[in-house]
Amino acid sequence: LLYERHGEAAAVVQLKDLEVPKLGDCDVHIKMLAAPINPADINMIQGRTYPLLSPLPAVGGNEGVGEVLEVGRRVKALKPGDWVIPADAGLGTWRTWGVFPEEMLLKVPSDIPVLCAATLSVNPCTAFRLLADFESLAPGDSIIQNAANSGVGQAVIQIARASGIKTINVVRDRPDLTKLVERLMALGADHVITEEMLRKPEMKNIFKSIPRPRLALNCVGGKSTTEMLRHLQPKGTMVTYGGMAKQPVMVPVSAFIFRDMRLRGFWMTQWRKDHAHDQESVAAMMDALCQLIRRGQLTAPACTEVPLQDYRAALEASMKPFVSSKQILLL
């Protein structure tokens, strides 16, 4: 799926037949199996606000899983039949075949479900780092997050649950709220509340059974963030990793002065750049996530599987509000 100019994804992305490049000595020929459509993919195609843009013409997609068909004679770590995911953003995963240098790919176990592998490199990794890198959380601690039904939000709930950490999950009010609450509770959420509820005195009841959170995860911005900050413990940390409301993060001065709040930011792409030569950290994270998947403690987000030729409908569906299902292209 190629785009030759920036713009609205459903308008500029086209399905094109291209020749598969010749296999070099350090290259790997892969058949893509499945690739999701993530908000960052759409932002890159729009070309307006995202700091990472592929040179045009570009193939869409930053995430997915493929099977190795053939390897160049200098390739050491991969062999035919192995499953691989992108080692970094910008690979262009919305394709049936591809030839890539070995260092652009990460091997993953082929005994995990294909949808888990296809959605492994962005959301679960982001969730893992958000929970690991900003506060030292222990079993019984709690965190609060907005956009809890997003791919990252669902992964945070499950990884936290496996570590004994309680989650307070904020979602937007919607027509099928009850169904969404049930789904997040089934994943292991301790509390699911709407943004309106954040402002209500009943919030105090939640903190009778669990401690106030030391960590807040913000993917929205605007009013949601300010309200969430109110419930953090003094010296707590709020990490912003998305801005769905397209509004700035507003923080009362008193939160800094009297409660010594810390505000941090996180971008998985930057983490990967910073750890490009620290393969141990990357391997440890991937191993931990794959173990959770094998134990049934981490599942793929709610997905809608779409054949490649129906890509336009999938792109349009991924842009609709309140869609709690990730569009996955089957390749």
Which residues are annotated as catalytic? 50
Backbone angles phi, psi at 156, to 5 degrees: -60, -45
The H or E element spanning position 312 is helix 311-319
SS3 71: strand
* CA dist., res. 245 & res. 23, Å (int): 44
CA-nearest of 124, 159, 154 to 139 is 159
Question: Tokens for 21?
Answer: 């490049």
CB 238 within 8 A of CB 216: yes
Q: Output helix, strand, coil percentages for the chain, rounded to the nearest 5.
A: 35, 20, 45
8 Å CB contact between 275 and 281: yes
DSSP 104-170: GEEEE-TTS-HHHHHTSTTHHHHHHHHHHHSS---TT-EEEESSTTSHHHHHHHHHHHHTT-EEEEE
